[in-house]
Chain A
Amino acid sequence: MIPGSPSLSPGSTYLLAMRPRDLLHPRPEGLYCPPGDFYIDPVRPVERALITHGHSDHARSGHRSVLATQQTLDIMALRYGADFAGTTQAAALGTPLDVNGVSITFHPAGHVLGSAQIAVEHGGIRIVASGDYKRQADATCAPFEPVACDVFITEATFGLPVFRHPPDTHEIDQLLKSTQQFPERAHLVGAYALGKAQRVIRLIRDAGYDRPIFIHGALAKLCDYYEGEGIALGELRPATVEGGSKGDFAGAIVVGPPSAFADRWARRLPDPMSCFASGWMRIRQRAKQGGVELPLIISDHGDWDELTRTIEETGAREVWATHGREEALVRWCELQGIAAQPLHLVGYEDEGD
């Protein structure tokens, strides 16, 4: 089940020659690999960047050279323009590459289209930087693959035992039920433009809903890209009012970025029911404070059970937890006898979802 276990033998040189932190450690620019002279998901422009996925806090423009999956490169070009980096190189999933003598392999992370974990191997040590990931099935991206490693760098966005995501199909059923219960209202689904929006649309289609879905302009390019990558999203229409009336949106599903809720943009919709697709919606007070009427607990990050299961499956002897609620995950690792520490990286959104 786990591809390629690292070749560690007792007495191998790494104990003497290299410690994990010599292979990867945080710097203000991001997670740095001294022997390979590259950064993973740097938050400032650097010479050589390896990018896990296209979300803007991980994928920034202005690096001299970028190594990422082809889909992540495409998404960065869509967001920042074709000249977002000096040079680019596409990494094929599962194929090791050599970067200054360090072996690099991209493995799918199941987070959004193109997302990957990056396995860094050198001097007998393998560290997997997982970027962001989830384990729930998602028709819009390749599923996460556990990779055996010595050190697993895990995100901790939902690193508390209270975060337990229900099956996404259940949440979509709630949405569709509400469109029938309140047919005069537009259902405005807040979902981030990359990944979440397309997944929500695809889930709605898989639940058998075949009416047109209206989208905010901010989603159009990425939805087109997903379609081009073979992910069918059905009929999408711009949520514009030109030539139509408010009544056109009665009972309709409208997908837009969460910021559109508060925006004057939403005034074109009749009595909109605000629905927000996010793992944070698990906490009632979060939904209430945000004025969300129909919370949809759908996340592109793993919940507590997924995070802990994944740590177990990697067989890692050491865990570094980053961006989120690290302390609980570190505590859990201690209880399991796994060495763990928070990895303090700056510049990532703890709230990202």
Chain B
Amino acid sequence: MQRFAELLDRLVLTPARNGKLRLLTDYFRTVEDPDRGLALAAITGDLSIASIKPAMLRALVAERMDPVLFGYSYDYVGDLAETVSLVWPEPGPERRANRTPTLDEVVTKLQTASRSDGPTVLSALLDSANIEARYAIIKLVTGGLRVGMSARLAKQALAEFGAVDVGEIEELWHGLTPPYIELFAWLEGRTGKPERTAKAMFSPVMLSTPVGDNDLEKLDPADYAAEWKWDGIRVQAVSEGGVRRLYSRTGDDVSGAFPDLVDAMDFEGALDGELLVGNPAEATGTFSDLQQRLNRKTVSPKIRDRFPAFMRCYDVLMIGGQDMRALPFVERRPRLEAFVAELDPTRFDLSPLAPFTGWEALDGMRKNPPHPVIEGVMLKRLDSAYVAGRPKGPWFKWKRDPHTVDAVLMYAQRGHGKRSSFYSDYTFGVWTGPEGAEELVPVGKAYFGFTDEELKQIDKYVRDNTIERFGPVRSVRADRKQGLVLEVAFEGLNRSTRHKSGVAMRFPRISRLRWDKPPNEADRIEVLKALLDA
């Protein structure tokens, strides 16, 4: 338990991906079964423990300390789990455990506790733990570790730990259960690779590389087929022997959020495609519409009716238990067409091919796509097999040019690690309000896109033009006369109720520093709003 608690504390404060990976691989290396597997499950969200309500936790503390002192403490800390972990009175020597329980002991006790004895079991566990371990226990029972570690990153750590490709982990993942004894045994080279025994498992997705300068010159257009690149999320629909699963491109099971689509998966096979909302024959919804359905464990009927999910199919991986992946694209494609023709047309359609005559013509097509939910074109080599990962050559993506806006730097925050002495995260805004009373409204935040030399220049500008400081954040002088204009590139806009501006940018980055441009010539919010309505 102690090492798990320390791991959580370190992960929360470690911003860098590589730092997190090292913390986790070291943990796997030094902690034994089954604790390491349970920790993994806790991080990936695969550990099921009956939850305890915050009110129950408060009631347990109220039995143990003065409510006024607890009130002062909670007001100061602001987080219930953390407050309780800190103020929980250490039991007297007669009740003190002689050691902190292991994670396995904690999980077993919590999983076997009945509803009525849950609070008693929890308080006994808290009595047996120190501050860090208490915090971890409370986080386990209140749900949501929030350590900034995605399931994807955890799988990456497993891959590094065992020196295998992350695709292999993703492929196996849904056949495994905590505490993953056989997985660790394989990764440590003590046994062979676990068998794929479960039904409807995930197959690692084939990804494309962006078209770079001069990439196409060497290639013959006649070797490639083109398709539109749809702006949804990439999914894999697998149905086998009555088991139906919808996976994200990293192998996370997202079936729960899309019961309407899963209901229509009455086939035996595996499809690769883009998840979108709307009615495929009539109207394809925007990414902003799709977001109404994302990141939900369950979905209300109302939302389901308003934003019905469907899948625009790119490829077929399995048909009736037969693996199609080794076939070349030209042979998979007719099979895909025949397969999709049999499915519910309101839930599945085919991503149409986009015939083109040459690279120049294709360049024109990707810059001016026929539909707003298209973000460019895909190129697929006719003779390419479906392979895991991102090999360069068989598949390319060629996106339309990003949108850009001229915005004014408003706030700058210090970075982390190598950038901890630099103001490297920038919040920028555009003008709003009537003429003569314009003010800036923040529209986004970006922390890359500039060179190291430009970073130094902006850092100096921030230090020289600071008007206020809030901890690691500085507000920078930005008015009609003085301010730094940043050309910001972004992939798209979503409507946002959380931001004052009403918009949220996708993938914003700094594309140019406009030292030359006076701030009053930066863009107005109407320019962005117009994009939303397009």
Contacts and interface: CB of A to CB of B under 8 A. Distances in A.
Contact of A160 (B15, B73, B472): B73
A88 interface: no
B420 A272 contact: yes
B520 to A, nearest CB: 31
Interface string B387-423: 0000000000000000000000000001011101110
Interface stretch (A72-80, A161-169, A206-214): A161-169
Contacts of A174: 6
A272 B131 contact: no
A185 B416 CA distance: 13
B421 A261 contact: yes
Given A166-B131, A271-B418, A272-B420, A327 B72 contact: yes
Contact of B420 (A282, A288, A291, A331): A291
Contacts of A325: 72, 76
A31 B118 CA distance: 53
Contact of B13 (A181, A271, A288): A288
A182 B22 contact: yes
Interface stretch (A94-102, A292-300, A313-321): A292-300
Q: Name the residue in A162, A181, A274 with the highest tally of chain B Cβ atoms < 10 Å from its Cβ.
A: A162
B86 interface: yes
B83 interface: yes
Contacts of B12: 284, 288
A262 interface: yes
Given A161-B69, A262-B421, A332-B69, A291 B76 contact: no
A269 B33 CA distance: 38
A262 B414 contact: yes
B14 A162 contact: no
B86 A294 contact: no
A331 B69 contact: yes
B26 A274 contact: no
A274 B19 CA distance: 13
A292 B76 contact: no
A202 to B, nearest CB: 24
The main secondary structure of chain B at its interface with chain A is: helix
Contacts of A185: 417
A262 B12 CA distance: 21
Contact of A283 (B22, B82, B87): B82
Interface string B322-347: 00000000000000000000000000
Given A181-B22, A261-B420, A262-B421, A291 B414 contact: yes
A352 B6 CA distance: 27
Contacts of B69: 161, 328, 331-332
Given A182-B19, A283-B77, A331-B66, A162 B86 contact: yes
Contacts of A282: 86
B527 interface: no
Nearest to A162: B86
A265 B422 CA distance: 11
B421 A293 contact: no
Q: Which of A274, A290, A291, A292 has the most CB of B within 10 A?
A: A291
A335 B416 CA distance: 45
A154 B126 CA distance: 31
Contacts of A242: none
A266 interface: yes
A181 B72 contact: no
B436 interface: no
A161 B418 contact: no
A267 interface: yes
A289 B417 contact: no
A287 interface: yes
A179 to B, nearest CB: 13
A290 B13 CA distance: 10
Nearest to A282: B86
Interface residues of B, number: 36
A75 B28 CA distance: 49
Given A181-B22, A182-B19, A331-B69, A290 B421 contact: no
B420 A162 contact: no
Contacts of B73: 160-162, 328
A13 interface: no
Given A293-B13, A295-B13, A328-B72, A335 B66 contact: yes
Contacts of A5: none
A314 to B, nearest CB: 21
B79 interface: yes
Interface residues of A, number: 41
A291 B416 contact: yes
Contacts of A266: 420-421
Interface in B64-116: 65-66, 68-70, 72-73, 76-79, 82-83, 86-87
Interface string A183-223: 00100000000000000000000000000000000000000
Interface in A331-352: 331-332, 335
A89 interface: no
A85 B492 CA distance: 66
Contact of B417 (A164, A272, A327, A331): A272
Contacts of A327: 72
B86 A161 contact: yes
A287 B421 contact: no
Given A294-B13, A331-B69, A164 B472 contact: no
B503 to A, nearest CB: 27
A160 to B, nearest CB: 5
Contacts of A163: 86
Contacts of B65: 161
B77 A263 contact: no
Interface string B1-38: 00000100110111100010011001000000000000
Contact of A164 (B66, B131, B420): B131
A163 B86 CA distance: 7
Contacts of B212: none
Interface in B41-73: 65-66, 68-70, 72-73
B15 A293 contact: yes
A257 to B, nearest CB: 14
Interface in A141-193: 160-164, 166, 174, 181-182, 185
A87 interface: no
A154 B270 CA distance: 71
Given A262-B472, A263-B421, A290-B472, A162 B414 contact: no
B358 interface: no
The 8 closest A-B pairs by CB, nearest first: A162-B86, A266-B421, A161-B87, A328-B72, A271-B418, A162-B73, A267-B421, A289-B471
15 contacts: A161-B65, A162-B76, A164-B131, A181-B23, A181-B26, A182-B19, A266-B420, A270-B418, A271-B418, A272-B417, A274-B420, A282-B86, A284-B13, A287-B13, A288-B12
Given A272-B417, A282-B86, 14 more contacts: A160-B73, A161-B65, A166-B131, A262-B420, A265-B421, A266-B420, A266-B421, A283-B76, A284-B12, A287-B13, A293-B417, A295-B13, A327-B72, A331-B66
